[in-house]
Structure 1
Amino acid sequence: MTARPTPGDLLRIDGRASVQFAGGRALTLRVVSVSERHAYDGWIWLTGYVIDGRGNAIAKREVYVQLAGLRPASVAASRGRVRGAIRADRGHSSPRRESGVSSC
């Protein structure tokens, strides 16, 4: 994908987008926002919700990825809904924010 993602896009983020998501660390992300902050040419900051296999949002993440490595995710993952009380059973009222960025 070379086009800039937009809020609502469902993306598969794996090792093609960034080495930190290689192998079993790949994820499906529903884009919430695309940052305007400075990034290296061909790279972008995205904020969104990680979507599980049932289509439910399980965590909010901010990731730094290569545009050329982004792929559309399967439609099956988009059938769920984002729930505000995802972690209510653990005492949290909303998905926790995790940074998907590793230091260079």
Structure 2
Amino acid sequence: MLPRTGDTVLLTRTASVQFSTPMLFRVIRVHDWQTYHGWVWLDGYQLDAAGAAVERRSVFVQVNGLQPGAPTRLPAGRVQARPAGITDRERKVR
């Protein structure tokens, strides 16, 4: 399973020995760099248990070792609410 931008995957030892402690990872980019057969570089965010980004990382993993993670994408057409009381103009001034 080659992930796409926005996918959440579970990285475990089957993806790479560096993940002896499993990690949820949201993909922001799949590099097209030439690597060993079956391996790929991913850029993305390490997620906490609530699905919030904790740290941006680049990881080198085996494609066959990737497991689907909990879905964290918003459904198509859905927009996150903005904080109340602050307008776009006020954001630009700050």
Same fold, TM-score > 0.5, yes or no: yes
Q: Any stretches of 5+ residues in structure 2 without a counterpart?
A: 75-94
Q: Which has the larger radius of gyration?
A: 2
Identity %: 39
Deviation of 1:74 (Å): 2.1
Q: CA RMSD in A?
A: 1.6
Q: Which residue in 2 is equivalent to 1:63?
A: 59
1:21 aligned to 2:31?
no
Deviation of 1:54 (Å): 1.2
- The answer to whether the 8 Å contact 2:6/2:73 transfers is no
Size of the alignment, in residue pairs? 74
Q: Secondary structure at the match of 1:33?
A: strand
- The answer to whether the 8 Å contact 1:28/1:50 transfers is yes
1:56 and 1:50 map into 2 onto residues whose CA distance is 8
- The within-5 A match list for 1:1-104 is 3-22=1-20, 24=21, 26-75=22-71, 78=72
Q: Any stretches of 5+ residues in structure 1 without a counterpart?
A: 81-104
Instruction: Give the TM-score normalised by structure 2.
Output: 0.73
Counterpart residue type for residue 46 of structure 2:
V
Counterpart residue type for residue 18 of structure 2:
Q
Q: Which runs of 4 or more aligned residues in structure 1 lie more than 4 Å from their structure 2 counterparts after TM superposition?
A: none
